[in-house]
Amino acid sequence: MKNRVVISKQGCMRVDVTIFGSSHILRNVEEEALEQLKNGACLPGVIACCGLPDIHSGYGLPIGGVMVVDAQTGVVSPGAVGVDINCGVRAASVPLRYAEVQPHAERLLRKIAAVVATGVGGKTRSEIGKVTNQQFRRLVEGGVPALMELGYATPADVECTEERGHLTPASLDNVSRRAVERGEGQIGTLGSGNHFLEIQRVSEVYDAETAKAFGLELDGVSLMIHCGSRGFGEQICRDHIQAMGKTMERYGIHPPSRNLASVPISSPEGRAYLSAMACAANFAWVNRQVILHEVRGVFKRELGVDKLDLIYDVAHNIAKFEMYDSRKVLVHRKGATRAFPAGHPDVPERYRATGQPAIIPGSMGTASFIVVGTPATMKETWGSVNHGAGRVMSRAAAVGEPRKGRPGLITEQQFRESMRGIAYMSGSGENMLDEAPAAYKNNVEVVDSLAEIGLVKKIVKVLPLAVLKG
């Protein structure tokens, strides 16, 4: 079959595994990533397991992996969700033309960096981000709707966020004090690594009618924000992996890798994780919403723009209950984006005729895409598409090991060449070589490998104008 390969059941696998991608992508998938997918196919209650074109090895399930389990008989696994719970991306439209924004790109970056903290351990510069105790609980349990009550979000922001920015049941009682300590003071921060804030030019329009519904047009301007639940979500993941590792044998669960520690969904440990994960997911949606609120302020002060409309916000690392052919399942998406098609009941009313916008950011300095899913997406990938380009080079390989005298595979000159014509900065001053385009797959090939077989419909392609990295 074109742009897909099937690994038949073997060993303890309960289902076949399908990996999607061009022939070039499939030839170069890491063996470790394939093993991690096959490990996911061994878990109790699993009914599907697949890899998307951005697949690469991770912790537990590979990044770019989707694992679906029966809601009654299946298990939940933090390693199939990811350490950065609800790492995700939101896109917004800017009511200006490229020519109106381009001369101000560097100034906008500096002004945004002044209100949006970046880097490891970065602390918020937003007043709402400084909340503690009961106020913090209110936000992580209530999500974006709680922000709306405080004036940091609009009804349209809530409508255009996956799950309306509020995953339930969320209770901070299932979250450790250490996680809360790490999370307090980090709402409204970008983080580090591949997280970014990008001002973009709409360079190609494939479907003008749908693009218009998204508020986009050729040579228009858009904004993307990519970040997650920061130290709060990371600590929650680690805490519950440790707890499950101690209890899963009690349930007769012996995963091929302890990185896929798991327990029955209905068990006390399973319910506790899903509740804590919901808190982290809500934190991440609140985090991105606060960043958008601060950026709206910058555009208003600097360019007199009254509003930036949220197109959509999608989660990348999450486990959610969904219905497929009247069957309730728990879909683990790790480095995967939900992409429900036109007519799906969970698509916001304003997008019911077009399909939910799915956002696929590229690597630093390269093209990103906004697409929609199709009916085939629901059948073959459980309503999921890739979340980005996917790495082909580890961070260590990209930058080398200076202390040991080992040079990296990417030089400063190569990096500067790849960023020519783009304003960029790291708010924290971190080395950005490990985020260079050469460290990632070609996002055009990644997206086209699904478009060619009808699993996504491309709407627009955007190119970076200015990039703020963590």
Does residue 395 surpass a pLDDT of 90?
no
pLDDT at res. 409: 83
Residue range 17-41: average pLDDT? 97
pLDDT at 428: 63
Q: Model's pTM, two decimal places?
A: 0.96
Q: Which of 381, 332, 389, 337 is nearest to 359 (CA)?
A: 337
Per-position b or e across 96-120, b if 16+ CB within 10 A of its CB: bebeebbebbeebbebbbebbbbbe
pLDDT tens digit sequence for 272-285? 999 999 999 999 99
Which two tokens mark 144?
């974006």
Q: How far apart are CA 319 and CA 329, in angstroms?
A: 10
Strand order through the sheet with 17-20: 4-7, 17-20, 46-56, 63-70, 327-334, 317-324
pLDDT at site 403 = 65
The first and second tokens of residue 162, run together, are 């996956």
Reported residue count of the chain is 470
Pick from 341, 445, 458, 398: which is nearest to 194 by CA? 398
Q: What is the pLDDT of residue 284?
A: 98
Q: What are phi and psi of 359, to 5 degrees?
A: -105, 125
Q: Which residues of 380-411 are buried (b: 16+ CB within 10 A; e: fewer)?
A: bbbbbbbbbbbbbbeeebbbbeeeeeeebbbe
pLDDT digits (tens, 9 = 90+) for 194-251: 899 999 999 999 999 999 999 999 999 999 999 999 999 999 999 999 999 999 999 9
Q: What does the mean pLDDT of the chain come to? A: 95
pLDDT (0 to 100) of residue 430:
65
CA distance 385 to 450: 8
The answer to whether 467 and 424 are in contact (CB under 8 A) is yes
Q: Which residue type sits at 27?
A: R
Distances from the Cα of 236 to the Cα of 84, 98, 250, 262, 283, angstroms: 9, 41, 22, 14, 12
- Mark whether 240 is an active-site residue: no
Predicted confidence at residue 405, as pLDDT, reads: 67
Q: CATH class for domain 4-469?
A: alpha beta
At residue 429, does pLDDT exceed 70?
Answer: no
Q: DSSP for 384-409, please give it.
A: EEE-S--BSS-HHHHHEEGGGTEEPS
Which segments of 71-219 are extended strands (E)? 75-76, 88-97, 196-205
Rounded CA-CA distance 96/308 in Å is 10
Q: What are phi and psi of 299, to 5 degrees?
A: -65, -35
pLDDT band of residue 402 (cuts 50, 70, 90) is low
Percent of the chain at pLDDT exceeding 70: 98
**How far, in Å, CA of 197 to CA of 287, rounded?**
13
Q: How far from 96 is each of 61, 222, 291, 296, 450, CA to CA, in Å?
A: 41, 9, 20, 13, 31
C-alpha closest to that of 450 among 13, 6, 18, 21: 21
Sign of the dihedral through C-alpha 314, 318, 320, 325 = positive
Residue ranges of domains in the chain: 4-469
> Tens of pLDDT along 177-208?
999 999 999 999 999 888 999 999 999 999 99
- The tens digit of pLDDT for each residue in 292-351 reads 999 999 999 999 998 999 999 999 999 999 999 999 999 999 999 999 999 999 999 999
Say if CB 67 and CB 34 are below 8 A apart.
no
pLDDT in tens, 60-118: 999 999 999 999 999 999 999 999 999 999 999 999 999 999 999 999 999 999 999 99
Single-letter residue type at 131: V
